[in-house]
Amino acid sequence: MVTDVYDTAIIGGGPAGLSAALVLGRSLRRVIVFDSGRYRNERSCALHCFLGHDGIAPHELLDLSRAQLRRYDTVECKRELVTSISRDGENFVICPDSELPLRARTVLVATGVVDELPPIVGIEAFFGRSVHVCPYCDGWEYRNAPVAVLGRGAKGVGLARMLHHWSADLVLCTHGSSGLSQDDRDKLRQRGIPIHEEKVARLEGRDGQLEALVFESGDVVNRKAIFFNTDQHPRSALLESLGCTYQAHGVECDEDGATSVPGVYVAGDASRDVQLIIIAAAEGARAALAINTALLQDDYAQRL
Ligand SMILES: Cc1cc2nc3c(=O)[nH]c(=O)nc-3n(C[C@H](O)[C@H](O)[C@H](O)COP(=O)(O)OP(=O)(O)OC[C@H]3O[C@@H](n4cnc5c(N)ncnc54)[C@H](O)[C@@H]3O)c2cc1C
């Protein structure tokens, strides 16, 4: 049985979803936020590049945001996985994992992405502590320190060239066949970046702090951190199941996050290439403005 109609159902309680909830709640919109409790940076100890909050723990930012949302009786937050969303006439039907379905006039999907870790035994223990994805987020902590880039082909070279700005004490590890052209090799050599094409057998360190990469031959390279840029995939398939169209870079949407399906919006890592918390929050706020504008138009049309 479907019990209730909200103005907006927000799927995702990370920075993008919570920011949208704040703007919509303050716009007197009845909002429900679903949060399955899995955040992209949950393994990290400290977040950076967020003005006013630089260096705080990721969970602290979320706790603070949720506490501020509790001031607004227009916003409900649920710790629930959403398993499906479908259209029912003018509204959407949201199906949470363990509660009754409910209806909403609009939907914002802010469900983030999952990083696909390089296939190296034990790497999970270091992820977010000394194995990182983003030089802007964590490069400062390793400025001029011994660092490895893990990556193949053009992506690996691109990350190595970027990270060289933070530390010249850099090696590129391709964990098998490198896919590097002679031109790539020449450019790396000019910058003094050695290439290790051998497979990494294991990582050594303690309490999440990397100390060394051990190669299959037994060779050891002492490093304080690894940066990698392998693939990622959406944490949920909700946009796809709603029929949103995709382009090469991801889901198709306009600058406000409006997707190809009327009434369905997207924000945060699920939507765009620049993946920073402050940008996810800004995208959530921007989508919220667009949603409220669309709801206002709808409200006025119904009154005429
Ligand atoms: C290790 C690491 C460190 C990082 N450090 C930084 C940093 O220092 N600074 C920075 O700016 N960025 C950093 N980032 C990037 C940052 O984590 C993301 O840009 C940011 O989390 C994106 O926010 P989001 O709200 O889009 O997604 P997320 O924070 O991933 O939140 C997704 C939300 O969707 C929910 N969800 C997913 N599917 C469902 C479903 N079906 N039903 C209900 N809920 C669902 C999840 O539970 C979660 O609440 C880091 C990333 C990583 C991997």
Ordered by start, the domain boundaries in the chain are: 5-115+231-303, 123-228
Residue with tokens 């999440």, as numbered in its chain:
208
Residue-wise pLDDT tens digits, 53-108: 999 999 999 999 999 999 999 999 999 999 999 999 999 999 999 989 999 999 99
Write out the CATH class of domain 123-228: alpha beta
CATH superfamily of 5-115+231-303: FAD/NAD(P)-binding domain (3.50.50.60)
234 lines ligand 1 (CB under 6 A): no
CB 225 within 8 A of CB 130: yes
Cα(151) to centroid of ligand 1, in Å? Answer: 22
CB 159 within 8 A of CB 147: no
Structural tokens at position 221: 């390279």
Residue-wise pLDDT tens digits, 21-48: 999 999 999 999 999 999 999 999 999 9
- pLDDT-based confidence at residue 1 (cuts at 50, 70, 90): very low
ipTM: 0.99
- pLDDT-based confidence at residue 165 (cuts at 50, 70, 90): very high
Supply the DSSP string of 150-181, one letter for each residue. E--HHHHHHHHHHHTTT-SSEEEE-SS-----
Which atom number of ligand 1 is nearest to the Cα of residue 12? 34
Residue with tokens 């050594």, as numbered in its chain:
204
Residue-wise pLDDT tens digits, 183-239: 999 999 999 999 999 999 999 999 999 999 999 999 999 999 999 987 899 999 999
